[in-house]
Homo-oligomer: A and B are copies of this chain.
Amino acid sequence: MSSTYGDQMTTIKDVAKVANVSTATVSRVLNNSDKVRSATRERVNTVIQELNFIPNAAAVGLQRKKTKTVGLIFPDASAYCFAEIIQGINRHLSQNDHQILISSAHDEAEEIKIINGFVRGGRIDGLIMMMPSANGNNGFRIPLAYKIPEVFISCEINAPRSTTILLDNYNAATEMMEHLSKLGHKRIAFIHGGEHNYDAHERYRGYMDGMKAYPTDGELNLVVMGNFTESSGFQATLELMKRNPRPTAIFAANDAMAIGAIEAARALKLRVPADLAIVGFDDISSAAYMDPALTTVHVPLRRLGHLAAEAMLKNLKTNPADRTTEKIIIPLQHIIRRSCGSE
């Protein structure tokens, strides 16, 4: 069986030979370090161009102990927003000459296995984790002694010297509650996205505190559990509408569930927003095209990805001992459309 590289991999030796210099010199011009006479540099560069030479990543990695690769772990479930985050990450990383090694995991055990393989196998220089269900509160513990830069997205691991990027779910949620309250709602229900999901939990907290802060019809329990899917939002709404008296507004922890909620309202012949106000979270692209258009909170996913990449690159450049623990919170803006009845 022939070589993977198609039999014609060009090596630094080939370049050296053609350019009539030693491999050391070629290496020097590659890493445009040191002093190389400009005539020599030019000659070598020409040969590099001619031979279309790109240094073998394994060889460089072995020597330098750097792979220029960042690991990216994301959950197996709920694909709905990760592509955009990935693109945000990728754009910035690839502009800075770094690659992404990606993998998804469906549970903690698999996650740890993947990370272990990446790190101990020396495949990555840093790790970005999107694990909304991996929070301190549910006992998730990644063995974090790897000493490579870590960036967490939407989870509060609180690992020392790591960067955490969070959405300001809580404040966005309380603001949404304020908005609903101002519209006169006193019985606002919440469709949760999963107890162990960070974003869902924070949105829930915001909801709860909103319920405390603003006037309600007495002691209410209007929270039902969903799982971020349209169908769970649909079911949850059916369930909620059995209550007596009924909620006058529903705050769904994401847009997909809000869409399910709208559909359920329709099935129950309830007018949205007249009989029931419904708001979501995420501002997915179709939210503006619902009937009624969905009031929601905009989440800048690309930007989130960009920030993660930025943090990673920064940490990659700084000495481990000088790395700080950072928490970046992205402020969120709500988008008022028709489904909340404010127009």
Contact = CB atoms under 8 A, between A and B. Distances in A.
Nearest to A67: B58
B146 A6 contact: yes
A230 B289 contact: yes
Contact of A1 (B69, B91, B319): B319
Contacts of A52: 116, 120
Nearest to A90: B104
Given A56-B122, A76-B91, A229-B285, A148 B6 contact: yes
A103 interface: yes
A57 B116 CA distance: 13
Contact of A54 (B66, B79, B116): B116
Contact of A87 (B72, B79, B101, B121): B79
Copies of this protein chain in the complex: 2
Contacts of A289: 230, 234, 259-260, 262-263
Please tell me the size bucket of the interface on A. 35 or more
A68 to B, nearest CB: 9
A32 interface: no
A243 to B, nearest CB: 22
Interface of A: 1-7, 9-10, 52-59, 61-62, 65-67, 69, 72, 76, 79-84, 86-87, 90-91, 94, 99-104, 114, 116-117, 119-123, 125, 145-148, 229-230, 234, 256, 259-260, 262-263, 266, 285-286, 288-291, 319-320
